[in-house]
Amino acid sequence: MQQTTKSNGLNWLALSVIIFLVDVGSKFIVLSQFDLYDSVNLLPFFSLTYVQNFGAAFSFFLGQRWILAIIAIAMSLFIIRLLYKSPKEEKLANCSYALILGGAIGNLFDRLYHGFVVDFFDFFIGTWHYPIFNIADIAICVGVGLLLISSFMSKKREKQE
């Protein structure tokens, strides 16, 4: 019997679309208001600083645009399949998948459209700077964190049964 969106996690794709739109919208604002490396200090430890990331997280795979795009497409298709197979009751796992998917597609769009990812959140203490990131990166990290929590919770439930 074939599953419908009422019985699986595909309804969570709406969250992926929201994440994608907020991410792309924020990057559009940065691109329209900032020149490369422009920075606006908002707090003693936080600035908006426009940079271009030609790699992945922390600039891994620097300059490997097409490899990163292929990985993002493959992972996105895998996550959509996970949402399709996941029961709708698995809300935390489905939310996790949707966050990761929305972030992955946001950064994929940048890679394909610009040739780089637009990053702009800059946290620092003194001269130490955390790698600059964007909303898509936040969605991916939160999604992975929630996925870990979901995994631990499901293992705990299995032990109780």
More confident residue, 3 or 31: 31
Span 150-159, mean pLDDT?
75
Single out the catalytic residue among 23, 110, 119, 122: 119
The predicted-structure confidence for 63-97, as pLDDT tens digits, reads as follows 788 888 999 999 999 999 999 999 999 999 999 99
Alpha helices (runs of H) in the chain, residue ranges in sequence order: 13-33, 65-85, 91-113, 135-160
Span 119-139, mean pLDDT?
96
Single out the catalytic residue among 23, 110, 122, 137: 137
Tell me the pTM: 0.89
The predicted pLDDT at position 3 comes to 52
Contacts of 117 (CB under 8 A, 6+ apart): 52, 53, 54, 107, 110, 111, 134, 136
Structure confidence at residue 62 as a pLDDT band (50, 70, 90) = confident
**Exposed / middle / buried, residue 113 (Cβ in 10 Å: 0-12, 13-18, 19+):** exposed
Indicate if 137 belongs to the active site. Answer: yes
Structure confidence at residue 1 as a pLDDT band (50, 70, 90) = very low
Using a CB cutoff of 8 Å and minimum separation of 24, what contacts does 71-75 make? 72/104, 72/105, 72/107, 72/108, 72/111, 73/108, 75/100, 75/104
Q: How many residues does the chain have?
A: 161
Indicate if 119 belongs to the active site. Answer: yes
Picking from 85, 109, 107, the residue whose alpha carbon sits closest to that of residue 97 is: 85
